[in-house]
Structure 1
Amino acid sequence: MPEGGQLVDHRDGRDVVLRLRGVRTQFGDNVIHDKLDFDVFRGEIVGLVGGSGTGKSVLLRTIIGLNQVTAGTIEMLGVDTATLHGRAERAMQARTGVQFQDGALFSSLTVSENIIVPVREHAGLDEETMRDIAALKIALVGLPPDTGEKKPSELSGGMRKRASLARALALDAELLFLDEPTAGLDPIGAAHYDELVKGLSRSLGLTVLMVTHDLDSLNAVCDRIAVLLDKRVVVGTMEELLVYDHPWVREYFHGPRGRAARQEQK
């Protein structure tokens, strides 16, 4: 099997909505990723995993433009992100959504006001329409209607996760990035969140790249899994990775938690 890239081509005629070629990220002399190639196809959910220090969140932040690539190219929705400036960059931001691990909600704003922030920045709609959009997104993620008038501090951890997802979807994103979306949730809450993400992806045609360490989530919602190994990435289905010959992959997917997660899905 190859050292990096896809184990099998699973496109089936679908568009590539995220393409990384020869990506290198480093901080000073510390090289995190090197010669990294990676494709995500339209409509799929891809889980991004890796051991401690492999740079899962670094890669995500690099893809969305919060970190600078040292070398290589990142194409998002058919556009080289290095060419995006001004209006073109804002247009791309309107087509993508990001949910950070801690939610990153503005504590001084209500949930509705949080959702309206990107709508006001990119859409320029009147206040009543923006309020209607916020209410729609709150319902979309399964929160009660009165959630909109609450502050993040008044919500449970699971509700804050859903509220931040509602904000990520405020502009009808085509491509959604999730950073450890089930971290901090109990098993029941995590399972419900997995069902929500899978349902939204199918009903809205979302493409999702999800950084996670949760084996249950990988089994429950991901079409393919990208594993960061030796500064590169290997991508395949769960079945393909279960027979992939690499020490970390074997330990991760065949260890006690991996076996338990697979058993739960039977």
Structure 2
Amino acid sequence: MPRISILPIKQLTLRTPSPLARAWTCARCSSTSPRRSTKMIDRPLRPRRFAPLDPARQIEGDDRPVLKGIVFDVDGTLCQPQNYMFAEMRTALNIPKTTDILDHIYSLPAAEQEAAQEAVRAIERAAMKKQRPQAGLVELMDYLDARGIKKGICTRNFDTPVHHLLTTFLPSSRFNPIITRDFRPPKPDPAGILHIARTWMREGGGGGSLIMVGDSLDDMTAGFRAGAATVLLVNDANRHLAAHQHTDLVVRQLDELIGVLEGGFEGRVEAGDESVDARG
């Protein structure tokens, strides 16, 4: 049984991996429809670059920060996308594709919210029996555990399908904290990622020492606003997000991150920089 702590309250040009990386490689309820309009905020200052995790590649005097941890989304990130759920949820709630599911539920009178939540949870419980792990999931988690990198989850799912995925596919891997739907405000607000950062670092400074890995605009925007580096796990449905200003790096499967982290994470360059755009 994995050790998990669920809060009840409230995607690239690849570097050649090191021998260690090659060894490791061997072995929502979130809407994807257009979101409501939000005011663009100033680009937060964040490193978006981290020193190599491979000790042989670490250089004295390297001013790149050390990666403290990685936050993962669940549906479409740790497990393969189950986007059919969203249409079923909107049918159950009688809302159009352009309406965000959680926004709609939270806008209902308090007496009606639990029934709406249960209608959505029933769809998620049925879908969780069909969960399939993403390619490279186990390899990446084993690598992060061996390197001592903290792992957390920030998802708009509720806790039952999250627990099912972890106990089924990652029974020995530890994630803490685990932010689920009960934590408000949900993504794209950065609050969940910032909570994880405070839990890990016990200090201020936002998410500048973290990476957020996800597959949706909610994930990229939440990570961006938290000051974290962002990694898009790209697929046919979200390919347009590879060029989004909130996306720092793109991978096609999870274990591609091993070579990236071993050699040093380099995200998208700022306008005016002369270095290469590492998104590829």
TM over 0.5: no
Higher relative contact order by CA 8 Å / sep ≥ 6: 1 or 2? 2
Which has the larger helix fraction? 1
